[in-house]
Structure 1
Amino acid sequence: MPCYRCGARQIDPARGASPWKRGVRHETQVLVCPDCQQSHTGDLDSCRACGSTALICRLGEVECRGCGAVRPAQAPDQLVTSGAPPGLSAEVEAALSRVLGRAAAPRPGD
């Protein structure tokens, strides 16, 4: 999963914990790269109880890692989102083809 802000791809750290952080934006779990953590965390969702942006989204609920508050996630039809990053479906298709050893399916118009 790339950084939600700049699109950088996460790589495995040499040792220790990853410097990447998780967050929630529009009720969706996102990753934030180290560079974007310093300047672009204002558009992440925040906890309604304590204001922290240390949230995780799972199985229909959002939990605050700061205070432990849990709330139901909003239904997708109640949200206004920008959708998946451009080109993501093509990247996923190519990765699956590499892993599964399949030939890429022709695209419409090719």
Structure 2
Amino acid sequence: MPCYRCGARQTDPVRGASPWQRGVRDESQVLVCPDCQRLHDLDLDSCATCGSRTLICRLGEVECRACGAVRTARAPETVRTATVAAPPGLAAEVEAALNRVLGRA
């Protein structure tokens, strides 16, 4: 999953905690790259109970990691979708990776 703001993709992680941040935006789980995290306005959803932006979205629920509040996510038809264009060359990179893994010439 790419960064929702700039479209950057994660690379293979090194040991330890990931520098990427998870968040919820418009009822969808998103990732934020380290560069975009430096921006002050990430436009992420916040908890209605405590105001924290450390939310996760799963199985139709949004949970606050700070206070534990859980709420039902809105229905998908009421959520506006944000699209991020795939970075140039992504299809070629995926094809090359599949060829390596599957042993194709």
Ranges in structure 2 where 5+ consecutive residues have no aligned partner = none
| Distance in 1, Cα, partners of 2:10 & 2:41 | 17
How many residue pairs get aligned? The number is 99
Matching of residue 50 in structure 1 with residue 41 in structure 2: no
Distance 2:33 2:26 in 1: 18
- 1:67-93 CA deviation, whole Å, 9 max, x = no partner? 0000000001112223x32248x957x
Letter in 2 for 1:74: R
Give the aligned partner of residue 22 of structure 1.
22
How far has the Cα of 1:26 moved from its partner?
0.6
Name the SS of the counterpart of 2:38 in structure 1: helix
Equivalent position amino acid for 2:69 in 1: A
Asked if 2 retains the 8 angstrom alpha-carbon contact of 1:5 and 1:40, the reply is no
Displacement over 6 Å in runs of 4+: none
- Is the CA contact 2:7–2:85 (under 8 Å) kept in the aligned structure 1? no
Q: How high is the TM-score relative to the length of structure 1?
A: 0.76
**What aligned pairs does 1:54-65 form with structure 2 within 5 A after superposition?**
54-65=54-65
Write out aligned runs for 1:1-110 (5 A).
Answer: 1-82=1-82, 84-87=83-86, 91=90, 95=94, 99=98
Structure 1: tracts of 5 or more residues without a match:
102-110
Distance 1:98 1:11, change over 3 A: closer
Percent identity between the two aligned chains = 62
CA deviation after TM superposition for structure 1 residue 13, in Å: 2.9
**Contact preservation (8 Å) 2:7, 2:86:** no
Coordinate RMSD, CA, aligned: 2.4
Distance 1:80 1:26 in 2: 7
Distance, in Å, in 2 between the alignment partners of 1:73 and 1:96 is 35
**What's 1:104 paired with?**
none
Query: SS where residue 39 of structure 1 aligns?
Result: coil
